[in-house]
Structure 1
Amino acid sequence: MRITVIGTGYLGAVHAACMAESGHEVLGVDVDVSKLAALSEGRPPFFEPGLPELLRRAVDAGSLRFTDSLQEAGEFGQVHFVCVGTPQLPGSYAADLRFVDAVVDGLAPHLRPGSLVVGKSTVPVGTAARLAARVAELAPAVTDGEADPELAWNPEFLREGFAVQDTLTPDRLVVGVTSERADALLREVYAPMLAAGTPYIGTDLATAELVKVAANSFLATKISFINAMAEVCDAAGGDVVTLADAIGHDPRIGRRFLSAGLGFGGGCLPKDIRAFMARAGELGVDEALSFLSDIDEINMGRRRRTVDLARELIGGSFLGRNIAVLGAAFKPDSDDVRDSPALNVAATLQLQGAQVRVHDPEAIDNARALFPTLDYALDVEKACERADLVLHLTEWREYRELDPTVLAKVVRVPRVLDGRNALDVDRWRDAGWTVRALGRAHH
């Protein structure tokens, strides 16, 4: 099938490569010509494990190419995936939908009869119905016997670091449609996944939109819950890791997303729960989601708590102190620094007088673009040189595998604050380090 993917950022580039891998002929569309040039050479503009190989294979095979023309896209494709961003609107909790609107307005006049526009962007409920009406209004008239272009919604559930896997072998496919024909087209698009037994949930447009934000809100709630428990453990002398292990054995609760620490960041969870609250207010049911405000506050409070604990460890003041920050990306196996808790803490420490040096295996360039006044190091030992305190803030495997005995020789004082509760505390203490972690005050 001929498929277009409009927007070749994180979601779009992965989706385009995976659709080509699944046997489709794919055209990627973007306004950023430098990004298109890199993708056309098989080079993704961001770090994602497995994507460069997939992209290069598709480009070399001729099953994936790129353009900046929506007219070309409309004339080429039968199914058009909309994968542009919906960032938080400045001065508001609401989502900024101008990129999605612009794509639909620009594409619709060029749609062929029978084509299907499929939204994958995360949007407030009700957006799909509005855009469906826009497609019907702007699409060219069809002749007798031809089907009108229409719109469906198919939210993405990608985890950065696992995006290729999540696209090729998803844990479910959620599809909001208004016709049997649209449903049949999407079943054809995803035939390899369905043949492998992927659950397929066909529903209406509104439910499809809500599934995405509901899932993200639940995950955010679970993370903030265990971080609230970490706060209680700090006050009461408990151990949040043991607590999480214990309650995680309950099958109704489960252990995943119960790792206490610095909290969540990135380009999805924070802005999605805020946009969900904003939309609930517009629908007149803001009280139903008022708890999400507490979830957001608990999450942001973890950053403040990390700074406070670092100050306490270092003797009450950051002035003149050297601090090494291990991690800049918001999560491991990614170079994404959007709303990164690690970078937020690093910048706060610098503002309060510390000399901060940051290391990350993949995100240094993106971090430097966002926070150019921080110092950066290309290897861990250089970052930790003469440090009075080391902060472990992104859970990269290479940080968990560090040799604390070797690192102790380059720091000024062997003190570490584990903001992710991921280091082997006994191993670090045996190497002479003072170790503190969120929610483990006496452990």
Structure 2
Amino acid sequence: MVEYESYKSSFYDWLGKIPSHWEEKFLEQTASEKCDKNIGNTVTQVLSLSYGEIKKKGDLNKGLIARDLSTYQIIAPGNIVMRLTDLQNDHKSLRTGLVKDDGIITAAYLCLAPRISSEYLHYLLHAYDVKKVFYGMGGGVRQSIGFKDIRHMYIPVPPRAEQDQIVRFLDWKVSEINKLIGIRRQEIQELEELKRSRIGSIIMGQFQTQKKKSDISWVEAIPLSWKEKPLIQYAYERCIKNDGMLEDNLLSLSYGKVIDKDINTTDGLLPASFESYQIVEPGNIILRLTDLQNDHKSLRTGLVTQRGIITSAYTCLETRGDILPEFLQLELHVADLCKVFYGMGGGVRQSIGFKDIKRMLIAIPPLSEQHRILDLIHGIDAPTDKQKEQYLNIINELEELKKVIISDVVTGKIDVRNITVPKYKHVDDIVDDDLENNEETETDREEA
């Protein structure tokens, strides 16, 4: 890559030098704040900022949607939306999004109407976000800032023709990197699907030759020595409220795993008090039997590995009798993959509970065989997870490369004026819907 012929010092030390012919301007000289309220609910297309992308919110019954859409602000293509709230919880620095569709979005976000190339300004603000510029403005207990806090922030501004060339170059390079990321994500998905298929076959005894016809709806036959009994004979519902805040180890069901969640974060769907949450113990099984029509990849079950609290909107099971918690959780996971719970919530019925599933039949092998089956499954998990980790490392490296290229080009470290951009297929950033679809919904919070 080629550098510019000459440079000059910029206003910020972290920014370093910028090309001599570039200007430095206040943000308010390049964009104005826009806040057009949706008075009278005239616009109903809700948009959301997710992982740096502005996208349409299809289901207004899912997620954090206000009852009155008149509180939202109207946004239009070319606007830039910035999430300048919850600054201490910045994670991957994806606080800016370029609007591509007409719609409305929460008024908690800052909307800018650019006076220069909106695409260039978006790339630049994304680079500032990666450099934690906004994070630094919200130090101490100050979690949120607004336009008044950033309007006198200096930004480098090249001539308009150069802005357009920078956008063409970055759109090309980002698309090429996104294409590689997409390939790796597809490989991860294929690995997961293969693992789920093999685990499902093993957990239901399909590897055995001597089988009998099954009365279970999602499996045709089971081994001769296995028993079929209602779920209630091997598990009961447990719901111990966190009265008096006995526990503060917050857990969450995500990607089919029960994981830690920061109880102090203000990001996401968290209640004012966690006393309504339920206490769970290692070996408990969590089922998310809410929002059944939004089932996507069927990751509604998880095994608890540590004591903590989780929303009471979820069903918590404790096993009894001769069944291993991990075995039962995996069998319920197979039922989930076969859309068993989804089918119980047909029509307008979005949620079910233990009373709806307690009579469902499950297949139970002898205890010694359960141990052998779990050993087989653990043997599948290890190499698959190792390969998945390698792919994830590659994805992380590509994401970092994308950030570096964007930052270097929009801050003038690299001169792209004379680079010919070839024909290419545009590829958007990959938005990971799994995370959204497996986190708590507004309904979960209300039911808790």
Greater per-residue helix proportion: 1
The two structures have a TM-score, normalised by structure 2, of 0.26
Larger relative contact order, structure 1 or 2 (CA cutoff 8 Å, min sep 6): 2
Greater per-residue strand proportion: 2
Which has more radius of gyration?
2
The two structures have a TM-score, normalised by structure 1, of 0.26
